[in-house]
Chains A and B, each alone.
Chain A
Amino acid sequence: MTTYYDSAWFDIKVCAEMVRTEGPSVGHVKHLVSELVTMANGTADGKIDTCYYRHESAKAASSTTQYDLNASLTDAFGQTKTFAEVVMIAVLNRRTTALAYLIVGPHTATPFGRLSANLGFWPADIAADNDQGEIVGPALSDSEPGMLILYDPTGVPAGAGATDIFSVICSAVVGATNEWDILILGRSA
């Protein structure tokens, strides 16, 4: 019998360092925002049992890539990944072409992540004009990607056939060279 066991951890630190110099007087302030979290295997809050990763490449200008959280994603073991709740989405834009951004947001069909029952990553669509979503700017170099990281330990529900798709849309900057890393962590129930 084959079983699969997914878990995750993240270690994220962002630090601003501010030095004041005034003759012999020196001040030094560090503002550190730090999160170190381990998510054991499970379906309770604070845990995950479903993980999906992909490096996308050679994506055309203005193309749309859909992520159907209920049916279409398969992992490196060939297993279909079905998310009932999503706790984290990380998108790293790896293209270095100037202005070649990505939009990450609810897909127009069965949009995932819009606020409902006080859970969501993006607002409800007031005028149904599909202008939710966040921008991930281009990388400056291979080691300096544009980044967008969404994290909600409670989990944002993915309703099968109703609210289960988000998309990544490429800018119109010429060239089928858009590429990004995407990691999705969540729970199957």
Chain B
Amino acid sequence: MAATYTNTAWLDVRICGEQVKIEGPAATGALKNLVSAIVRLSNGTSDGSIDKAYFVHESAKAASSTTAYDFHTSLTDAYGQVCSMAEITTIVIRNTRTTALAWIVLFPSAVAPFGRLSGSKGFWVADIAGDLDQGSYIGPGGFRIFHAPIGVPVSNGVADSISVTCSAVAGDTNEWDLLVLGRSA
């Protein structure tokens, strides 16, 4: 019997800002500003579902180096299966280097850039002047989460690649986690 693979995912996001008002010796007011979303992405290719998942922990990356991710052909998942995505719903990237100012930047690759706004879908704005100033800077210890339930299209050879470039801070010790969820169709 041929192997089959069933990918699903979930997100549990809770962020709470708490404010307390104190008058004299007593707290007289308290606010909890809670932003919350708990989302289950079942297996499938319709909106609200996923059937592809890719995770990598990168490490020992050199200063100023660039690592590219081609969502159409070059990624393999934990089972060794080629992880070819037609739409991406979620990108989570976490900079796990702690050296001061050692940022990483996630951006549409110069060649076949994925994720620029097109057809009202994208993770970054379109590149007005073709000067590659889109992207997301993630400081040391920081992270970025994108989640688009309707998905952002991947176009083979045209809009299928993102890159991560490391800062010039000395040391081949840049590292990050990257988790990408998407659909094969």
Contact A137 B148 (CB under 8 A): yes
- The residue on B at minimum CB distance from A11 is B14
Interface centre among A98, A105, A137 (most CB of B within 10 A): A137
Q: How far is the CB of A98 from chain B (nearest CB, A)?
A: 7
Contact A88 B37 (CB under 8 A): no
- The residue on B at minimum CB distance from A10 is B15
Could you show 27 A-B contacts with beta carbons less than 8 Å apart? A3-B21, A4-B20, A5-B19, A5-B22, A8-B15, A9-B16, A13-B11, A14-B10, A17-B53, A33-B179, A48-B17, A76-B19, A76-B33, A99-B150, A115-B103, A118-B101, A118-B103, A131-B125, A133-B125, A144-B37, A144-B48, A147-B13, A147-B147, A153-B141, A156-B139, A173-B120, A185-B17
Bound together, the chains give a CA A185 to CA B33 distance in angstroms of 11
Q: Answer whether residue A84 sits at the interface, using C-beta atoms and an 8 A cutoff.
A: no
- The residue on A at minimum CB distance from B11 is A14
Contact residues of B: prevailing secondary structure: strand
Which positions in B face A, CB cutoff 8 Å? 1-24, 29, 31, 33, 35, 37-39, 47-48, 50, 53, 55, 77-79, 90, 92, 94, 100-101, 103, 105, 107, 117, 119-129, 131-150, 152, 167, 169, 177, 179, 181
Which positions in A face B, CB cutoff 8 Å? 1-23, 27, 29, 31, 33, 35, 48, 51-53, 75-77, 88, 90, 92, 98-99, 101, 103, 105, 115, 117-127, 129-141, 143-154, 156, 171, 173, 181, 183, 185
Contact A154 B19 (CB under 8 A): no
Please tell me which one of the listed residues A52, A101, A119, A126 contacts residue B133 in the complex, with CB atoms under 8 A apart: A126
Contact status of A126 and B131, CB under 8 A, knowing A53-B35, A76-B31: yes
Which B residues are in CB contact (< 8 Å) with A13? 10-13
Which A residues are in CB contact (< 8 Å) with B38? 143
Which B residues are in CB contact (< 8 Å) with A99? 119-121, 150
- The residue on A at minimum CB distance from B120 is A99
Contact B136 A121 (CB under 8 A): yes
Which B residues are in CB contact (< 8 Å) with A90? 15, 35
Q: How far is the CB of A168 from chain B (nearest CB, A)?
A: 13
Which B residues are in CB contact (< 8 Å) with A129? 128-129, 131, 133
Ranked nearest first, the 3 interchain pairs of A and B with the lowest CB-CB distance are A51-B17, A53-B33, A16-B53
